[in-house]
Amino acid sequence: MWQVTYTHFTRMKRFIKFACVGGISFFLNLGITFGLKELWLDYRVAMAISFLICMTVNYIANHNWAFRDNRENNKNLFTGWLKYASISVPLDAMAYGFAVLLKESALSQYYYGYLMAEAIGIFIIFLIRYLIVSKFIWKVNHAVS
Query: Over the stretch 6-50, which tens digit does the pLDDT of each residue have?
Result: 677 778 888 999 999 999 999 999 999 999 999 999 999 999 999
Q: For residues 13 and 68, give the distance between their C-alpha atoms in angstroms, rounded to a whole number.
A: 12
| pLDDT surpasses 60 at 142 | no
Task: Please tell me which residue, 145 or 136, carries the higher pLDDT value.
Answer: 136
**What is the pLDDT confidence band of residue 1, given thresholds at 50, 70 and 90?**
very low
Q: Is residue 1 part of a domain?
A: no
CA 35, 40, 43, 48 dihedral sign is: negative
**Across 67-93, average pLDDT:** 85
The answer as to whether 49 is a domain residue is yes
8 Å CB contact between 90 and 71: no
Find how far residue 68's CA is from the centre of its chain: 17
* Structural domain includes residue 29: yes
Q: Identify whether 66 is part of a domain.
A: yes
Average of per-residue pLDDT across 53-81: 86
State the average pLDDT over residues 65-93: 85
Would residue 121 count as lying in a domain?
Answer: yes
Structural domains counted in the chain:
1
* Domain limits for position 84: 12-136
- pLDDT at position 25 is 95
Question: Does 18 reside within a domain?
Answer: yes
* Structural domain includes residue 144: no
- Whether 71 is covered by a domain: the verdict is yes
Its pTM stands at 0.81
pLDDT digits (tens, 9 = 90+) for 95-136: 888 888 888 888 888 878 888 888 998 988 998 999 898 888
